[in-house]
């Protein structure tokens, strides 16, 4: 398997612009997670889905952030409008509830977002 | 709520030194415990895990034992290599939940 795929790998945008980050989880996985990593706050869970349904979005910082999972093989995290404090590395991860690797989250390479 | 506390970094060692990175946790019930590693420019990778008290997880020469009495899961390696330089995260998964709670990470640098 190709692993978790994220795009773009790097994104530079100006304050106020809309940003869309994309994730393709590992085929067959039923959980998908979005994380944000910054020097100040470390690794934070933003939202996670089970079978395409959002389960816990308590980590989403504010209404400017939204996430969708229209099908089992694709998810987006959108920031509108973006602000400089949103600059971070955003990771997507997926996992499978049952099976020999249960509990293990597989992370994508991340998207480094810079908002000027 | 559940939480994980790791030793403050950064940690700098010489090659072949003994490594310990401390991790303690607070959780209700019986969580599963994990160590993830993040190499520069990459996402996190599972290093090892333990799902019940007294279990020992091991991988690539690293070990950690689930100690319920001290609520700890310290990471150890007998002889580190330059290639072990990375950021190490301790994490737990509370019973019944799928989400992980991560510690703040410990940056490890190994000098030749």
Q: What is the mean pLDDT of chain B?
A: 93
| SS3 of residue A78 by DSSP | strand
Instruction: Scan for tokens 């100040």, then name that residue.
Output: A40
CA diameter of chain A: 44
Per-residue pLDDT band at A98 (split at 50, 70, 90): confident
Element (H, E) at B61: none
Q: Does A107 touch chain B (CB under 8 A)?
A: yes
Q: What is the mean pLDDT of residues B54-82?
A: 96
B67 φ, ψ (degrees, to nearest 5): -110, 100
Determine the Cα–Cα distance for residues B76 and B78; give it in Å rounded to an integer. 7
| SS3 of residue A39 by DSSP | coil
Say how many CB pairs under 8 Å bridge A and B: 45
Instruction: Scan for tokens 């290093």, then name that residue.
Output: B47
Partner-chain residue, chosen from A42, A97, A108, that has the shortest CB–CB distance to B98 = A97
Residues of B in contact with A57 (CB under 8 A): none
Partner-chain residue, chosen from B41, B45, B99, that has the shortest CB–CB distance to A33 = B99
Determine the Cα–Cα distance for residues A66 and A80; give it in Å rounded to an integer. 8
Instruction: Scan for tokens 């995260």, then name that residue.
Output: B89
Q: Encode pLDDT of A76-89 as tens digits.
A: 999 999 999 999 99
Q: Encode pLDDT of A6-47 as tens digits.
A: 999 999 999 999 999 999 999 999 999 999 999 888 899 999
- Which residues, listed in sequence order, are joined to residue B92 by a DSSP beta bridge? B33, B101
Q: What is the mean pLDDT of residues B43-68?
A: 95
């Amino acid at each position: 398997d190709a692993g978790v795929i994220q795009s773009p790998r790097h994104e530079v945008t100006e304050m106020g612009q809309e940003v869309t980050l994309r994730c393709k989880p590992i085929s067959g996985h039923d959980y998908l997670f979005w994380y944000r990593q910054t020097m100040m706050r470390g690794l934070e869970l933003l939202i996670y889905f089970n079978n395409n349904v959002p389960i816990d979005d308590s980590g989403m910082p504010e209404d400017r952030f939204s996430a969708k999972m229209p099908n089992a093989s694709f998810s987006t995290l959108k920031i509108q409008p973006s602000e400089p404090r949103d600059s971070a590395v955003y990771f997507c991860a997926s996992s499978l509830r049952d099976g020999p690797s249960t509990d293990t989250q597989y992370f994508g390479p991340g998207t480094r977002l810079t908002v000027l | 709520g559940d939480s994980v506390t790791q030793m403050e970094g950064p940690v700098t060692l010489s090659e072949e030194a003994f490594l310990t990175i401390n991790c303690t946790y607070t959780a209700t019930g019986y969580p599963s415990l994990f160590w993830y590693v993040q190499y520069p420019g990459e996402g996190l990778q599972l290093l090892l895990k333990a799902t019940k008290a007294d279990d020992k997880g091991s991988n690539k020469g690293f070990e950690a034992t689930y100690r319920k009495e001290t609520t700890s899961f310290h990471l150890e390696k007998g002889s580190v290599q330059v290639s072990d330089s990375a950021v190490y995260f301790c994490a737990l998964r509370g019973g019944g939940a799928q989400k992980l709670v991560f510690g703040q990470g410990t940056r490890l640098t190994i000098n030749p």
